[in-house]
Structure 1
Amino acid sequence: MLRRLLAAGLFIAAGTLVEAVAETYDYIVVGSGPGGAPLAANLARAGYSVTLLEAGLDLGDNKNYSEIYNFIEAGNDEKSRWDFFVKHSEDEAREAKYEKTTWRTADGSFYVGLDPPEGSTRLGIYYPRAATLGGCAMHNGGICTLPNDADWDYIAEITDDDGWLASNMRKYFEKMEANEYLPPNTPGHGYDGYVNTTISDPSFMKQDSDFQKVASQLISHTGGDAGRDVNAADPDRDQATGVFGMASHADRNGKRAGTNTLLKKTLADPAKFNLTVQLETLVTRIIFNWEAGEPSATGVEVLRGSHQYEADPSYDAAKQGKSGRIFARKEVIIAGGSFNSPQILKLSGIGPAKELEKFHIPVVKDLGGVGENLGDNYEAGLQALASKPLNGSTGPFTVFLKTPTARKTRNIQAWCGSFSFEGFWPGFPAEYGPSQYECAIVHINPRSQAGYVRLRSNDPRQMPEINLNFFAEGGDEDLTELLDAVKTFRTALKSVDAPITPFNERHPCPGVNQSCTDEAQKEFIKLQSYSHHATSSCAIGPADDPMAVLDSKFRVHGVKNLRVVDASAFPKVPGAFPVCPTFMLAEKASADILAALAKAE
């Protein structure tokens, strides 16, 4: 009976399985985000039995998650939150200056700031992740921008795999996209995929409103228009600057599209694909056997139950879930994200030998790059208050810049509008009233990827130690580029006519008449930058690179039947927003796996 239920693709809640029956599938996929969800669906649709393991619940029908404009509510919702806390450097004096530092007070609540109540414990810099069916694609802002072509071409170059060339990767975007803002058959776009894409309505530019006046000055200083296609198949796209429409992975009604919706559609398909989704199932370790002296992944160990991971706000160390094992005939595929994928590998004996031995974990494969090379986009912003409440209506729009010291391609993507976004902390964001205006800045291709994810213990329920090591390499160059972007936006805002102006800047140089030095502004940006696009902790690279974890087909070096397919696989941070590149990565992994199966048959 159990096997028939599994074959029917039903959701399995924690604690309902009969332990005496060994679960076996062709593929185990761990994690349901933009890496794992498409891959699991594609393999099931190709005729293979697949189980998808997710530590959280399905919240796809909850409006906090299903409606893209509720992303603030989703990011603060305890039903899905995993509260990670990170560091930005090894310098404790520098860390102590981060204005949104989070503390645990003596009564168990959070305090955010630099003057905590007596008896508080410093937690660090808040970095929420989403434990729910669909992963972080269910709580993000939904911005869908393709990276520079050079980001794809770089992977092809270091691996000698032309499948990674941008000219080839475009087809995966076309496969996944269901475009709703361009005429049918526009080259380079897809219309039948599972990721609906829309842009903010550009018609506000025809209105006589304060927002139109501000946007007009931004266009005057940078070029473009609010309806321009940000993902155009244009050979000069990566040099194009100015205003664009902001594309989101949502339909025209504001409904999120991608991970959760694809899985639900696959499960409900009359073809009855052999996909099983298991919720509240925390993977604790990969199971191996040894063939000809080489480890081969055969399954995973799990804990079944709610709130099993320490990052969960409702975690209780005394309430451990029920242990279980699940086996794979073909492969185990890890898609837990840039924090949890390296943690799972290390707990399973794959990682830097010295670190594993420190925690008495038997070494299966000594791979020094597991958990290293962690990168992220630097995020900052120019925030100011107009001299009057701003009227009109508009969604945010995107601005690309190529600052004077940029390398080969544009290096800044920003989004501007009447909002406040200054990073993450419990209860974020702060609101400053109807006169607030911000251009939030994302730095493309940061020079430093010196961060790490390291174990604190061999307990799979405990969060790892995470340090992003911001600006550790090329810091002054990156800070110069961020400051140059700020200056561009500041000049545009100052050009807006009264009575909207003068703007009273909140940061990085407070006041109406800026007199801050460049050094002071760069210091503010360095201390207060934030991020939420972690990548590269299980990086793709050639076998002779001691820091490479995966080959060009996502296979873990030196381990059979084990892959990692999520944002941790990127050797460098892809563009400004990694969610749609990760969907593309999942499509490539699907194609690679199915092609190998077809060849073997």
Structure 2
Amino acid sequence: MYIPIVFIISQLLLLSVNCCEELSESKLDYLEELVNSNFEKSRTYKQPIDNSEFFKNGGSFDTIHDYGTYDFIVVGAGSAGSIVASRLSEVEKWKILLLEAGNYDDDLTDIPYIYRVLQLSARNWGYFTVPQKNGLFGFKNHQSPYIMGKVLGGTGTVNGIAYLRGNRGDYDKWASLGNPGWSFDDILPYFKKMENFQSNNIDLKYRGFGGPLNVAYKEPKEDLSRLKSLTTNLGIKYIEDYNAKDQIGFSRSQKNIQCGKRVSGATAYVRPSMQRHNFNVTLKSLVTKIIIDKSTKTAKGVEFVRNGKKYRAFAKKEVVISGGAINSPQILMLSGIGPEDELKKHSIPVVKVSPVGKYLKDHYSFKVYYRSNETIPLKSFRELLKEYIQGRGMLTNLDNTLTYTFINTKNKSSSVPNLEFVLLGTTPVPNVIPQLSNYIEKIDQFNSKINEQTDYAIEVYILHPKSVGTIKLKSNDPKDFPLIDTAIFEAPEDLQLLYESTEILSEFEKTDFAKALNFTRLDFEFCNQHERDSKPYWYCAIQHLADPTYHMSSTVKMGPQQDPFAVVDNKLRVYGVKNLRVADCSVMPSTISGHNNAPAFLIGEKAADLIKADHGIPVETGICC
């Protein structure tokens, strides 16, 4: 295979990069104080119950202030919105406004292990699901937190930094559902364009290098040779790269990190673009409405609230909504685009009847813990920070993710998995970070028995659940959070599939790897009224502990006009309203066999090219459109 000289040079440069910062005592003092102070804040942090913070400071909302006119307004600086705004600002003659409800990312958000502290802070919106009928029995009122980032970089700044693109079959399905331009062959150039994959074993047919988004392995790399028993005992093969040709099998985890630091839409796209004279990034701004000319059904701009004042900004060309799978449908409905009964219920004038929020999809996951015969000694947090500064160690790999395993239990010959198993190692970190949860007492008691120095875990994900949830409005007031119904286990097949996954776990417990570590599964004592390992026992455990994975999609579904759930077309244009697009995971037509951050970046890259092409700006040959 021909290997481009530019690739060889780039890889040599990567290998020669020194990730070590100066190990000064002042740097360590600063980081230690930063982390410890935020640890303490997280322990007493109170989640907001609505958006009241934006409406304080004694501001008057009778006066609407002019925030200027731009060519494009992008709402939301998450993984997709960061890219859309940054790429559009590459056109010097265009003036871009990027509006974000949160504040800046910083040195704290750079540390991957600290993500749980971020989730217990103002960088998380504070959403909860509505009470669930068929699951979340281990949560108070059957409600779980739903984490979404409210910060520059969005959820990509507070998430698990996992980089999993999904499967060829997922994107080919998108195209087959009536979305030309979204097959795997169509979108692969975008994945390659955005990536900088740091690996000495890279398949150039499938992976990219030299892009803004760094993808790397934790350093030092774990020795996976002891996991060969997964092949010998279970017949699950090792694959070098689950983001390349094959996905079925087990593989080392890839992360959006560079020199051990988090890489997000903020760090990779927005910050490097902020020096451009045509790029206005405005933070701490809650968009409350899209301004739409009702006679022509044309988006003209947005209204937003900042520092207790209301503003209007106008767009000469387009408004692009990138608020994510919760906030994008909320903004559309508040603007009169949504289901007729929902709009009328809240006395919102109807601009366009549309099935906004009616097709919520998510992954569900369930975690099982194993006590091992090894005890990993604790290092001081200062020592861990030293390693972090050097680009290695525990703080660069939250939850110590070791491997991802993808299998299809329904069709052994299928190349598209239906389950994902994540193997998590011990996490010997002295500062125990509070977990954002809403557990009932007996679940808290179970969690308190987990030992970070000895215990491994396996988390199982349903990749293509049948259940369908909704996003609805609580009221027509933008201060109110939307109503999030993930409808967990609404389809009984989803609960059954997670139960069937426990058969794989039982086989895993017999592997040489598990035997060598003397794995003993932690009992779900809150289900001991059932015979251990019986179907009622596992159903009880799953319905108590399984929860949504914050991989929400499809609430502003892309599809042909005859699709009863489609809100946008294959160019992400909102049906029935001109100059309005949506670009984030809410447009996904179906779930992917991975996690949602990678496709969010993909959607941002492709959306930017679609917009450029529609406005006469040449794009890279072979990518669009």
- Into which bin does the TM-score normalised by the smaller protein fall? 0.7 to 0.9
Contact 2:325 2:552 survives alignment (8 Å): yes
In the alignment, the residues of structure 1 paired with residue 525 and residue 212 of structure 2 have an alpha-carbon distance, to the nearest angstrom, of 40
In the alignment, the residues of structure 1 paired with residue 538 and residue 142 of structure 2 have an alpha-carbon distance, to the nearest angstrom, of 27
Q: CA deviation at 1:479?
A: 3.0
Task: Write the mapping of 1:7-18 to structure 2, written as runs, cut at 5 A.
Answer: none
Q: Confirm or deny that 1:135 pairs with 2:139.
A: no
**Partner of residue 98, structure 1:** 137
Contact 1:380 1:525 survives alignment (8 Å): yes
**Partner of residue 119, structure 2:** 75
Task: Write the mapping of 1:413-492 to structure 2, written as runs, cut at 5 A.
Answer: 413-419=420-426, 424-425=436-437, 431-448=450-467, 450-473=468-491, 475-476=492-493, 478-492=494-508
Tell me the secondary structure at the aligned position of residue 297 of structure 2. Answer: strand
In the alignment, the residues of structure 2 paired with residue 493 and residue 556 of structure 1 have an alpha-carbon distance, to the nearest angstrom, of 50
Q: 1:285 aligns with which of 259, 284, 289?
A: 289
Contact 1:381 1:422 survives alignment (8 Å): no
Contact 1:205 1:226 survives alignment (8 Å): no
Task: Write the mapping of 1:539-578 to structure 2, written as runs, cut at 5 A.
Answer: 539-578=557-596
Tell me the secondary structure at the aligned position of residue 98 of structure 2. Answer: strand
The amino acid across from 1:442 in the alignment is Y
Contact 1:37 1:260 survives alignment (8 Å): no
Change (3 A) 1:183 1:396: closer
**Partner of residue 419, structure 2:** 412
Which whole-Å deviations, capped at 9, do the CAs of 1:85-131 have from their partners, x for residues lacking one?
10363x3xx56x62133xxxxxxxxxxxxxxxxxxxx5921112211
TM-score normalized by structure 1?
Answer: 0.80
**Partner of residue 250, structure 1:** 257
Contact 1:541 1:571 survives alignment (8 Å): yes
Tell me the secondary structure at the aligned position of residue 191 of structure 1. Answer: coil
Q: CA deviation at 1:53?
A: 0.3
In the alignment, the residues of structure 1 paired with residue 243 and residue 602 of structure 2 have an alpha-carbon distance, to the nearest angstrom, of 13
Contact 1:508 1:521 survives alignment (8 Å): no
The amino acid across from 1:228 in the alignment is E
**Partner of residue 390, structure 2:** none
**Partner of residue 311, structure 1:** none
In the alignment, the residues of structure 2 paired with residue 422 and residue 370 of structure 1 have an alpha-carbon distance, to the nearest angstrom, of 35
Q: CA deviation at 1:423?
A: 8.7
Which whole-Å deviations, capped at 9, do the CAs of 1:59-83 have from their partners, x for residues lacking one?
2x232x112232222222x131211
RMSD: 3.1
**Partner of residue 545, structure 2:** 528
Contact 1:249 1:258 survives alignment (8 Å): no
The amino acid across from 1:55 in the alignment is A
Task: Write the mapping of 1:257-268 to structure 2, written as runs, cut at 5 A.
Answer: 257-268=264-275
**Partner of residue 86, structure 2:** 41
**Partner of residue 298, structure 1:** 300
Change (3 A) 1:180 1:533: same
The amino acid across from 1:444 in the alignment is L
Q: CA deviation at 1:507?
A: 4.5
Q: CA deviation at 1:142?
A: 0.6
Contact 1:443 1:576 survives alignment (8 Å): no
Q: 1:55 aligns with which of 90, 101, 112?
A: 101
Q: Structure 2: any 5+ residue segments left out of the alignment?
A: 1-56, 379-393, 395-399, 428-432, 620-625
Change (3 A) 1:407 1:597: farther
**Partner of residue 309, structure 1:** none
Contact 2:166 2:243 survives alignment (8 Å): no
Further displaced range: 515-524 or 276-285: 515-524
Contact 2:238 2:251 survives alignment (8 Å): yes
**Partner of residue 117, structure 1:** none
Q: 2:607 aligns with which of 561, 577, 589?
A: 589
Change (3 A) 1:38 1:143: same
Q: Confirm or deny that 1:343 pairs with 2:355.
A: no
The amino acid across from 1:479 in the alignment is L
Change (3 A) 1:52 1:160: closer
Q: CA deviation at 1:456?
A: 0.9
In the alignment, the residues of structure 1 paired with residue 317 and residue 222 of structure 2 have an alpha-carbon distance, to the nearest angstrom, of 53
Contact 1:40 1:50 survives alignment (8 Å): yes
Contact 2:426 2:454 survives alignment (8 Å): no
Q: 2:555 aligns with which of 531, 537, 549?
A: 537
**Partner of residue 323, structure 1:** 310
In the alignment, the residues of structure 2 paired with residue 185 and residue 230 of structure 1 have an alpha-carbon distance, to the nearest angstrom, of 11
Q: 1:146 aligns with which of 153, 162, 165?
A: 165
Q: CA deviation at 1:226?
A: 7.0
* Runs of at least 4 residues off by over 4 Å: 18-22, 222-227, 390-395, 405-408, 419-424, 426-431, 496-499, 507-511
Q: CA deviation at 1:338?
A: 0.9
Task: Write the mapping of 1:199-278 to structure 2, written as runs, cut at 5 A.
Answer: 199-201=217-219, 203-205=221-223, 213=226, 215-222=227-234, 228-232=240-244, 234=245, 237-238=246-247, 240-241=248-249, 243-268=250-275, 272-278=276-282
In the alignment, the residues of structure 2 paired with residue 510 and residue 182 of structure 1 have an alpha-carbon distance, to the nearest angstrom, of 47
Contact 1:55 1:281 survives alignment (8 Å): yes
Further displaced range: 139-148 or 419-428: 419-428
Tell me the secondary structure at the aligned position of residue 380 of structure 1. Answer: strand
In the alignment, the residues of structure 2 paired with residue 172 and residue 370 of structure 1 have an alpha-carbon distance, to the nearest angstrom, of 27
Q: 2:178 aligns with which of 151, 159, 167?
A: 159
Contact 1:37 1:262 survives alignment (8 Å): yes
Q: 1:374 aligns with which of 360, 373, 376?
A: 360
The amino acid across from 1:70 in the alignment is I
Q: Confirm or deny that 1:389 pairs with 2:375.
A: yes
In the alignment, the residues of structure 2 paired with residue 203 and residue 227 of structure 1 have an alpha-carbon distance, to the nearest angstrom, of 16
Further displaced range: 436-445 or 136-145: 436-445
The amino acid across from 2:375 in the alignment is P
The amino acid across from 1:301 in the alignment is E
Which whole-Å deviations, capped at 9, do the CAs of 1:306-363 have from their partners, x for residues lacking one?
xxxxxxxxxxxxxxx1011000000111111111111100100000111111111100
Contact 2:162 2:253 survives alignment (8 Å): yes
Tell me the secondary structure at the aligned position of residue 457 of structure 2. Answer: strand
Which whole-Å deviations, capped at 9, do the CAs of 1:134-160 have from their partners, x for residues lacking one?
100001011111112122112212225
In the alignment, the residues of structure 2 paired with residue 406 and residue 40 of structure 1 have an alpha-carbon distance, to the nearest angstrom, of 42
Task: Write the mapping of 1:184-203 to structure 2, written as runs, cut at 5 A.
Answer: 186-201=204-219, 203=221
In the alignment, the residues of structure 1 paired with residue 317 and residue 283 of structure 2 have an alpha-carbon distance, to the nearest angstrom, of 22
Tell me the secondary structure at the aligned position of residue 172 of structure 2. Answer: helix
Contact 1:351 1:370 survives alignment (8 Å): yes
Q: CA deviation at 1:275?
A: 1.0
**Partner of residue 346, structure 2:** 359
**Partner of residue 25, structure 2:** none
In the alignment, the residues of structure 2 paired with residue 172 and residue 29 of structure 1 have an alpha-carbon distance, to the nearest angstrom, of 20
Q: Structure 1: any 5+ residue segments left out of the alignment?
A: 1-13, 102-121, 207-211, 306-320
Which whole-Å deviations, capped at 9, do the CAs of 1:175-211 have from their partners, x for residues lacking one?
11011124577222111111100124585327xxxxx
Change (3 A) 1:261 1:599: closer
Q: CA deviation at 1:224?
A: 6.3
Q: CA deviation at 1:487?
A: 2.4
**Partner of residue 406, structure 2:** 400
Contact 1:34 1:582 survives alignment (8 Å): yes
Contact 1:419 1:436 survives alignment (8 Å): yes
The amino acid across from 1:455 in the alignment is L
Which whole-Å deviations, capped at 9, do the CAs of 1:358-402 have from their partners, x for residues lacking one?
1111000011x2011101001112222224535899752211122
Contact 1:294 1:558 survives alignment (8 Å): no
Q: 2:129 aligns with which of 83, 86, 89?
A: 86
In the alignment, the residues of structure 2 paired with residue 417 and residue 187 of structure 1 have an alpha-carbon distance, to the nearest angstrom, of 30
